[in-house]
């Protein structure tokens, strides 16, 4: 068990740190055993800097569930960086902070003080290593002279004002702590006094989120794994009080959703079946039954709703499909806005009869084809803890597998969606849009005003935008432009990158069929755009709708791990729509 302390608040985060053997074709209950192992309890201590010697105090409350326990009232102590005792003292620096005078001494007062205590070794090391404070740079020195065993400088770039810079800083410190098996670290900024008071809570929250996510390791499927040693993080110089505690609680809630999303995407298809995904959704609703209800539709119920496009995709698999609908309603007060989050939920995509073959087909990674549903359910988990007022949210996933068998969908088949439109299947590997078609019709029937769907929909979007940026698309109407502005604003706050792609109506000509209302794919050119145009056919024109293609950023190929992309943005967007 690891802990992160807060001087007046203790945060507890569930994380998988235990190892287990792998189960095959598991029941829903088995995946629950996999997901959360030991409790990772890290406590954040918030304190101002001081030039006087001060004794650190912290209050930590042991708990077995996520959530914020009412803490005892403790005045945060002032902490002198030179006097701080622990394993790693991490200082975030901008390029401006690294400026030196004619004597090669730091101009920044904090760096000047640390360097003086170390006899000039800090300035000497940064010069030798050409450390300039650029984003992503770091240097960690193990030196005598301070209470800390190590002093680390972490580059924040030219101007550290974005959420992503501070979150990356927190994550880098957590990774350094992990590699050195550090028990406690202190994090500060060389120019914290330059941050506006109103921005300090968000800055502390971003650092804390990075530290939590950087500490997390998904070791459920490894025979051996190290337990995280990190127990406490002191965030120094960003103030304290109720506003920062509120922001740290928010960081905890969002991170718990991101971790769930990562674990869902990381889980292999022989563990995470459509039934298991439905079970996980039901578990979210049962854990937050004061605000959530769950409705899981089986094949027969989907037939009653005439979901022919969705059921056509699911027909080949031995694992039955499950249509997931969670509904969030605030614990009190009236509902002013109704929203829907729709996520693509292909727990495995073989491509069907148009099977994925050849280099670059990524069939071995097609467990991540449910990344949209992971984002939606991760957001549901976070929002169940935050409990925003005034907003009703529908979380919708058409979960299934795209496999090959004698009962499966064939090229040339014609499917009828739940809004009556017919689709000629000219490629069975363009299956996600078929499942989303019925999911979007269902979402519109819930009486919602705005819909955001997320899907690992096209390789074309990866080609266009690369592995780090999602494509966002809206149809050309005034009401959807308003939605686009809302979602883009939320992504700016969350630090997740979205880029607007055009919805070129003339491209729809390539989607016309001679025997049905449309085909399901228009070929390679403009593939991300034609996919979005296809989805548009299943959205009520009176409903604001945005499609986000997350095929690129859902997976980090370097780390060989899921990213949890989209969850922070969705949570932020829902909160912006709440009262």
Residues serving a catalytic function are: 356, 433
Contact 51, 40 (CB under 8 A): no
| Burial class of residue 28 (count of CB atoms within 10 Å of its CB; 0-12, 13-18, 19+) | middle
Helices (H), 53-162: 109-117, 121-128
Identify the three-state secondary structure at position 148.
strand
If you search the block for the tokens 């941050």, which residue do you land on?
A: 195
Which residues lie below 8 Å from residue 225, measured CB to CB, with a gap of 6+?
17, 18, 19, 217, 219
Identify the three-state secondary structure at position 47.
strand
Q: Is the dihedral of CA 13, 14, 17, 18 positive or negative?
A: positive
Give me the residues paired with residue 506 across strands. Answer: none
Main-chain phi, psi angles of 151, to 5 degrees: -120, 125
- Crossing angle between the packed helical segments 242-266 and 28-35, to the nearest 10 degrees: 130
Distances (CA, A) of 58 to 10, 76, 201, 230, 234: 9, 8, 19, 16, 10
Identify the three-state secondary structure at position 414.
strand
- Crossing angle between the packed helical segments 371-386 and 274-287, to the nearest 10 degrees: 10
**Distance between CA atoms of residues 502 and 73, nearest Å:** 53
- 5 closest CA partner among 251, 185, 171: 185
Q: Tell me, what DSSP letter sits at residue 506? A: G
- Residue-wise over 84-115: b if at least 16 C-beta within 10 A, else e? bebbbbbbbbbbbbbebeeeeebebebbbebb
Identify the three-state secondary structure at position 319.
coil
CB atoms inside a 10 Å sphere around CB 198: 8
- SS3 for 436-472 is HHHHHHHHHCCCCCEEEEEECCCHHHHHHHCCCCEEE
Distances (CA, A) of 34 to 38, 260, 272, 529, 553: 11, 12, 10, 38, 25
**Distance between CA atoms of residues 186 and 168, nearest Å:** 16
Work out whether strand 138-141 and strand 184-189 pair parallel, antiparallel, or are unpaired.
Answer: unpaired
């Amino acid at each position: 068990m690891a802990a992160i302390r807060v001087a007046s608040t203790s945060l507890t985060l569930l994380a998988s740190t235990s190892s287990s053997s792998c189960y095959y074709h598991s029941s829903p209950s088995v995946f629950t055993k996999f997901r959360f192992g030991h409790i990772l309890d890290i406590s954040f201590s918030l304190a101002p800097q001081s030039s006087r010697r001060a004794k650190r105090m912290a209050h930590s409350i042991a708990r077995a569930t996520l959530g914020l326990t009412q803490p005892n009232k403790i005045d945060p102590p002032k902490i002198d960086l030179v006097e701080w005792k622990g394993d790693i003292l991490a200082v975030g620096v901008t390029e401006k902070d690294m400026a030196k005078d004619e004597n090669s001494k730091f101009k920044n007062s904090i760096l000047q003080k640390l360097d003086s205590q170390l006899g000039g070794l800090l300035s000497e090391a940064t010069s030798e290593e050409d450390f300039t404070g650029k984003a992503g740079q770091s240097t960690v020195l193990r030196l005598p002279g301070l209470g800390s065993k190590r002093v680390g400088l972490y580059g924040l770039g030219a101007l550290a004002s974005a959420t992503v810079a501070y979150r990356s800083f927190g994550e880098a410190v957590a990774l350094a702590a992990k590699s050195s098996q550090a028990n406690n670290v202190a994090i500060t900024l060389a120019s914290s006094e330059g941050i506006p008071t109103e921005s300090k809570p968000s800055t502390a929250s971003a650092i804390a989120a990075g530290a939590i996510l950087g500490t997390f390791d998904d070791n459920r499927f490894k025979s051996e794994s190290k337990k995280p040693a990190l127990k406490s993080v002191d965030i120094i110089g960003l103030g304290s009080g109720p506003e920062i505690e509120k922001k740290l609680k928010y960081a905890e809630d969002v991170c718990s959703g991101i971790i769930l999303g990562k674990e869902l995407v990381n889980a292999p298809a022989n563990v995470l079946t459509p039934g298991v995904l439905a079970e996980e959704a039901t578990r979210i609703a049962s854990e937050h039954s004061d605000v959530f209800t769950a409705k899981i539709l089986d094949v027969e119920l989907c037939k009653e709703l005439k979901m022919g496009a969705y059921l056509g995709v699911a027909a080949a698999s031995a694992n039955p499909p499950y249509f997931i609908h969670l509904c969030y309603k605030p614990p009190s007060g009236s509902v002013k806005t109704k929203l829907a989050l729709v996520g693509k939920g292909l727990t495995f995509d073989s491509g069907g009869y148009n099977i994925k073959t050849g280099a670059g087909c990524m069939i071995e990674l097609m467990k991540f084809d449910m990344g949209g549903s992971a984002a939606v359910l991760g957001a549901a988990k976070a929002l169940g803890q935050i409990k925003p007022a005034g907003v009703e949210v529908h979380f919708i996933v058409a979960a299934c597998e795209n496999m090959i068998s004698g009962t499966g969908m064939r090229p040339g088949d014609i499917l009828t969606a739940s809004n009556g439109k017919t689709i000629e299947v000219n490629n069975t590997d363009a299956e996600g849009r078929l499942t989303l078609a019925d999911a979007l019709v269902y979402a519109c029937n819930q009486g919602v005003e705005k819909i955001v769907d997320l899907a690992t929909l096209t390789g074309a979007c990866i080609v266009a935008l690369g592995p780090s940026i999602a494509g966002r698309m809206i149809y050309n109407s005034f009401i959807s432009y308003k939605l686009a502005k809302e979602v883009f604003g939320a992504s700016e706050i969350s630090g997740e990158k979205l880029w607007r792609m055009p919805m070129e109506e003339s491209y729809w000509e390539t989607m016309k069929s001679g025997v049905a209302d449309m085909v399901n794919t228009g070929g390679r050119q403009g593939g991300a755009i034609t996919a979005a145009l296809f989805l548009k056919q299943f959205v009520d024109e009176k409903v604001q709708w945005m499609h986000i293609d997350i095929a690129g950023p859902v997976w980090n190929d370097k780390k060989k791990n899921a990213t949890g992309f989209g969850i922070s943005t969705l949570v932020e967007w829902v909160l912006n729509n709440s009262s």
